[in-house]
Amino acid sequence: MEATFCFVDLAGFSALTEAHGDTAAADLAQRFCALVEEALGEDGRLLKSIGDAVLVAAPSPGEAVSFLEHLLDRAAVEPGFPVLRAGLHHGEAVERGGDVFGAAVNLAARVTSQAAGGQVLATGLVADAARAHGIDVTDLGEVALRNVRDPVRLFLLGIGGSDHPEAIDPVCRMRVRRDRAGGRLRFEGAAYYFCSLECAGKFALAPASYATR
């Protein structure tokens, strides 16, 4: 099969699980999959979910970009939803038993591993499609990826964001609207915002361990 493969994951999921517990993390992962299903176009496919990550296949780079725009828009209005990160690559793979295998899938995973929270990274064909959609694209140059023989040219896509001023809770890594934060503390001259008083309390007990994350 030929497709654009897109890995998306919840940045900071381990921190969130530690802060809020396994049940809350499982509920969040389930909601994440539901948002992915809602954002898929008519021909897009959710190939698998792996804990805090999903693998989606879209027929073309343009449809993959549209999927991500819709997903990030939905995630941005979900209260307390973590930051997402994504990586995309277009190529061919072999489908077996409901799963997919091949260099294109592996490369999409490696591209995702280079993305920080809130970033969408892609290879050339997807970057071209993003430009055609009017999306800002930044050339990051050639990047050496683990277990990939040659460096790969990566591009940062200007997708996502929010109309509201947001911060990241340093304890659980959830997005927090500053005007609706459950708590606010200062440490070494910087302001930190929290999803709840529980997270603010954990920060207050050991601020240096969280402020440097």
Which pLDDT tens digits describe the chain residue by residue (213 residues)? Answer: 899 999 998 876 666 677 667 787 788 888 889 999 999 978 889 999 887 889 999 999 999 999 999 999 888 888 777 888 899 999 999 988 878 889 999 999 999 988 877 889 999 999 999 999 999 999 989 888 887 888 889 999 988 654 445 677 788 777 777 767 788 888 877 778 787 888 888 888 888 888 765
User: Which helix (H) or strand (E) is 43 found in, with range?
Assistant: none
Domains of the chain, by residue range, sit at: 2-157, 166-211
- Per-residue pLDDT, 76: 83
- Per-residue pLDDT, 118: 80
Q: pTM for this one?
A: 0.76
- Per-residue pLDDT, 182: 80
Helix (H, G, I), strand (E, B) or coil at 11: coil
- Per-residue pLDDT, 88: 96
Distance CA 140, CA 152 (A): 10
Helix (H, G, I), strand (E, B) or coil at 103: helix
- Per-residue pLDDT, 164: 47
Q: Return the CATH architecture of domain 2-157.
A: 2-Layer Sandwich (3.30)
Q: What is the 3-state secondary structure (H, E, C) of 73-85?
A: HHHHCCCCCECEE
Dig out the tokens for 111 from the structure.
Answer: 């591209």
The CA dihedral of 53, 54, 60, 62, to the nearest 10 degrees, is -50
- Per-residue pLDDT, 163: 46
Closest CA to 169 of 151, 196, 137: 196
Closest CA to 82 of 116, 110, 106: 116
Closest CA to 122 of 78, 87, 162, 170: 87
